Amino acid sequence: MAELGRGVKAGAFAGAISGFVIITITSIIASIFSKNKAELFTFSVIALLFVAILVLTLQSTVKGLVIGVIFSLLYILIPTQKSIYKAIIFSLLVAAIIIGTLLIIERVSPGTLSKYAGIGNYSVNLIILILLVEALFRGYLLGYFWDKFATTI
């Protein structure tokens, strides 16, 4: 049971930190590729971006909690010795599942991701790239915090 609590704490911290960093970087990339650059620097857009970063960081924290719980349950099944490597492998597997789901959605309904991301033809490639970078970053943080929250007896 202690491992489950350790996974929750590690996942929450990893989710909050990686979520904030990735969402901020994604917002900057989206603003670079945005079609309406004139509207980008208005007060309402900046305020909306700030609220979106806060809300999405909270969402990423909750997602991190869930990932931390699953990671703590599967920890002994992942074949390597170091926690950071285990967490990176686990995060890449989760990202592969998400990317596969997004590609199925894009195949079933072409243009869906482009329409909602608002960045044109680059959306699928950018989303995959962002998910892979997030998986590596979140995996590293999850493994780091997993070791940090180890109980010493």
pLDDT category at 17 given cuts 50, 70, 90 is confident
Q: Which of 125, 116, 100, 138 is nearest to 22 (CA)?
A: 138
Which amino acid is it at 142?
Answer: L
Residue 42 in domain: yes
More confident residue, 149 or 43: 149
Residue 48 in domain: yes
The 10s digit of each residue's pLDDT in 71-93 is: 888 888 888 889 999 999 999 99
Q: Give me the mean pLDDT over the 12-36 stretch.
A: 75
More confident residue, 8 or 29: 8
Residue 153 in domain: no
| Mean pLDDT (the chain, rounded) | 78
Predicted confidence at residue 84, as pLDDT, reads 92
Q: For residue 60, what are the domain limits?
A: 2-148
Quick check: 53 and 24 in contact, CB under 8 A?
Answer: yes
Q: Which of 59, 87, 94 is nearest to 72 (CA)?
A: 87
Residue 123 in domain: yes
Query: Residue 92: what are its φ and ψ, rounded to 5°?
Result: -65, -35
C-alpha distance from residue 103 to each of 41, 97, 139 (Å): 33, 10, 22
pLDDT category at 152 given cuts 50, 70, 90 is low
As a whole number of angstroms, the distance between CA 107 and CA 120 comes to 16
Residue 139 in domain: yes
**Number of domains into which the chain is organized:** 1
Which amino acid is it at 98?
Answer: I
Residue 89 in domain: yes
